[in-house]
Amino acid sequence: MSANSKLTVATHVLVWMELSRRLGRDLVTSEQIAESVNTNPVVIRRCLGELRKAGFVDAKRGSGAGWFLLVEPDAVTLEDVFRAVDPGPVLGLHHTQPNQECPVGSGIRPTLQRVYDDLEDTMRRRLARTTLADVLKDILAQQDGRDPSALVNAATHTD
C-alpha cells in the first residue's frame, strides 16, 4: 500500500502555476506542469480536472491553449485543496465488516474510528492554517538566492 499523494500533487500544481503567473506566464500546459512534478501529463490533467471542479483553475481552449489560476494563493488553504482532491476520510476502515463473533473484529471499527476522527480533525486544522502563498514563500526561501524564473524555465524549457 502506498500513501495518498493527491494533496501533494495538487499543491505542487497550484503553487507552480502561481510562480509561473508571477513570472508572466498566465497560461501553462499540463505537459509543462508534469515536467515539474516529474509525472505523466495525464496525472496532471486528472488533477487539474478536480481543481477545476473546485473553482481553482480553468482552461483556455484553441490557439494558445493552457490552464490558468482563478484564485489568489493567500485565499486558498491546504485544507481547501485537500477537500477538492480527496474529500473522503483520511484513514479508512475495513472495506467489509469484520467478524462480529471475534472480540477484535467486533470492537476494532468503533475504536479506530474515534482515533481516526481525532487525527483527521487535527490534520484538517493544521492544513487550514497554511495557504498556498505560505507554501510558495517557504519554497522560494529555500532557493538560496537562485532566480525563481529558473525554476519555471527548467520545467517549461524556455528562457
Tens digit of each residue's pLDDT (9 = 90 or more) over 25-68: 999 999 999 999 999 999 999 999 999 999 999 999 988 899 99
The pLDDT of residue 93? 86
128: left (phi over 0), alpha (psi -120 to 50) or beta: alpha
What is the Cα 114 distance to its own chain's centre?
26
Burial of 100 (0-12, 13-18, 19+ CB in 10 A): exposed
Write down the mean pLDDT value for the chain. Answer: 90
The pLDDT of residue 159? 45
Domains in the chain: ranges and CATH? 6-89+131-156 (1.10.10.10)
Tens digit of each residue's pLDDT (9 = 90 or more) over 118-157: 999 999 999 999 999 999 999 998 887 777 776 666 555 5
